[in-house]
Copies of this chain bind each other. A is one copy, B any other.
Amino acid sequence: MTDAATNMRLKLPIICFILQIILIILFATLVQYDHETDAAAWHNGSHTSEYENDFYYRYPSFQDVHVMIFIGFGFLMTFLQRYGFSSVGFNFLVASFALQWATLMQGFFHGMHGGKIHIGVESMINADFCTGSVLISFGAVLGKTSPVQLLVMAIFEVTLFAVNEFVLLSVLGAKDAGGSMTIHTFGAYFGLMVTRILWRPNLDKSKHKNSSVYHSDLFAMIGTIYLWMFWPSFNSAVTAHGDDQHRTAMNTYYSLAACTMATYGMSALTAHDGKLDMVHIQNAALAGGVAAGTAGEMMLTPHGSMIVGFLAGIISVLGYKYLSPILEEKLKIQDTCGVHNLHGMPGVLGAIVGAVTAGVATRDVYGKGMADVFPDVASGDVEASYQGVRQAISLAVTLGIALLGGLIVGFILKLPIFGAPPDTICYEDSIYWEVPEEEEDAHDGQLTVVRTEETEKLNN
């Protein structure tokens, strides 16, 4: 494994240092504390209590989202038997870059004040959201890409994410607080297109590594459960203060619970011999959070949320069972984590639910709260039905930008300079990490590990 092509000795330091120095220069030039994080500005402002600082409204949600990004996504992908270091570790690296870059890109498009990008807790949440989208795409190419490829992907994907988000929220006037479209649909279809372009005809040579072991499945459940628990915070993190945050969290809570019931039922129904399949439990049970991403802040009603989650769970398990094999064989889409089933289809479902729920909104149901959820409808600029049309157009735009973007970025990532692993050593930490080797230690009859030259040779 001393292959020059995959050696990261220079490639990784160069990209890390250059990117970080560029980030520092751009931050120095463009970024300022916002009104609520700047000492002088906040103390000059008029507020009756320190509580009016947005920090107290949003920081607990931010931390929950942060856990989802770094623990949730990171550990969810540790299910592979020998790819745990890379799953958690590359997730960590890519997210650390993406959240800084997203601050700039999102700031360009909707955070400029007098030529400066103003930042605070809400921009931090949005940066984490954008990062989540990149990590979804990472799930599609998991095990088949070098860390340099992932950073290059993040550069472009974050940029396109910000463009798409700007078009949806600012140009089209759509609502998508929990990101069924902007985060999940975008990240999934972008990643699927990238993995399609990166198709590896000889990937079956690494096939025996593309599966789980007992303990790796338990590590993955840490990721699953954290994502599941904190999804109510995710969907409500940037909704309006008051009833909106409250309602969004609760809708998501019930959507997820119903989704879990559907997932267990469908898994036993479709899996081998009536036994539950960990792949379904780890992934499909989360589809309810994805599908409540757009409509969660609306008056979806608790039972409406449950129906959405229930359908999302069913669709997602069916996708894992029947659609993924077809995508791989017929369309040459090697989707390691099945992001199409967890983020793609449930994201589209969520977008549709959002369009319908927006289309049927009435003043009776929303009262003065209409101004928070659908400001253009409240102001009389548009009818509710037209808001629904906006939402539907937004889905189409998202799919278009994601697929086109993924196509271009996929070809960029094919350039043979980024240290991609060969087909024979995919899903394998030891190509990019120093991995301790296991060896029978005669002294105490237990499995212990020592790094010996022999085992290193064996691997080479």
- For residue A167, CB closer than 8 A to chain B, the reply is no
Nearest chain B CB to A53 CB, angstrom units: 5
In contact, B50 and A367 (Cβ under 8 angstroms): no
- For residue A417, CB closer than 8 A to chain B, the reply is no
In contact, A27 and B433 (Cβ under 8 angstroms): no
- Chain A 24-65 residues near chain B, CB threshold 8 A: 24-25, 27-28, 31, 33, 36-44, 49-57, 59-60, 63-64
The contact string, 1 if C-beta is below 8 Å from chain B, for chain A 257-288, is 11011101110110111111110010001000
In contact, B302 and A40 (Cβ under 8 angstroms): no
In contact, B20 and A262 (Cβ under 8 angstroms): yes
In contact, A147 and B264 (Cβ under 8 angstroms): yes
Nearest chain B CB to A122 CB, angstrom units: 11
In contact, A303 and B24 (Cβ under 8 angstroms): yes
Nearest chain B CB to A417 CB, angstrom units: 15
Cβ–Cβ < 8 Å partners of A75 in chain B: 222
- For residue A129, CB closer than 8 A to chain B, the reply is no
Q: Which of A38, A54, A99 has the most CB of B within 10 A?
A: A38
- For residue A19, CB closer than 8 A to chain B, the reply is yes
In contact, A42 and B243 (Cβ under 8 angstroms): yes
What is the interface size of chain A, counting residues whose CB is below 8 A from a CB of the partner? 156
* Copies assembled: 3
Nearest chain B CB to A71 CB, angstrom units: 5
Q: Please judge, given known A-B contacts A9-B274, A84-B218, whether A211 and B367 are in contact too, CB under 8 Å.
A: no
A306 vs B101: C-alpha distance in the bound complex, in angstroms? 13
A450 vs B207: C-alpha distance in the bound complex, in angstroms? 10
Q: Classify the interface of chain A: helix, strand, loop or mixed.
A: helix
In contact, A434 and B1 (Cβ under 8 angstroms): no
- For residue A177, CB closer than 8 A to chain B, the reply is no
- For residue A445, CB closer than 8 A to chain B, the reply is yes
In contact, B16 and A261 (Cβ under 8 angstroms): yes
Nearest chain B CB to A229 CB, angstrom units: 5
In contact, A269 and B229 (Cβ under 8 angstroms): no
Q: Please judge, given known A-B contacts A33-B247, A43-B368, whether A20 and B50 are in contact too, CB under 8 Å.
A: no
- For residue A416, CB closer than 8 A to chain B, the reply is no
- Chain A 414-460 residues near chain B, CB threshold 8 A: 430, 432-439, 441, 444-451, 455, 458-459
In contact, B211 and A12 (Cβ under 8 angstroms): no
A446 vs B64: C-alpha distance in the bound complex, in angstroms? 37
Cβ–Cβ < 8 Å partners of A33 in chain B: 247, 250, 299, 301-302
Stretch at the interface among A88-96, A190-198, A380-388, A395-403: A88-96
Q: Which of A221, A241, A364, A445 has the most CB of B within 10 A?
A: A221
- Chain A 98-157 residues near chain B, CB threshold 8 A: 99-100, 119-121, 124, 147
Nearest chain B CB to A188 CB, angstrom units: 24
In contact, A225 and B71 (Cβ under 8 angstroms): yes
27 contacts between A and B (CB under 8 A): A10-B269, A14-B265, A16-B261, A20-B265, A25-B303, A28-B303, A36-B242, A36-B246, A37-B250, A38-B247, A42-B242, A53-B242, A54-B246, A55-B246, A59-B249, A63-B229, A71-B229, A84-B217, A85-B276, A89-B221, A96-B258, A120-B250, A121-B246, A275-B432, A439-B445, A445-B458, A447-B447
Give 3 closest A-B pairs by Cβ, nearest first.
Answer: A40-B367, A39-B369, A9-B274
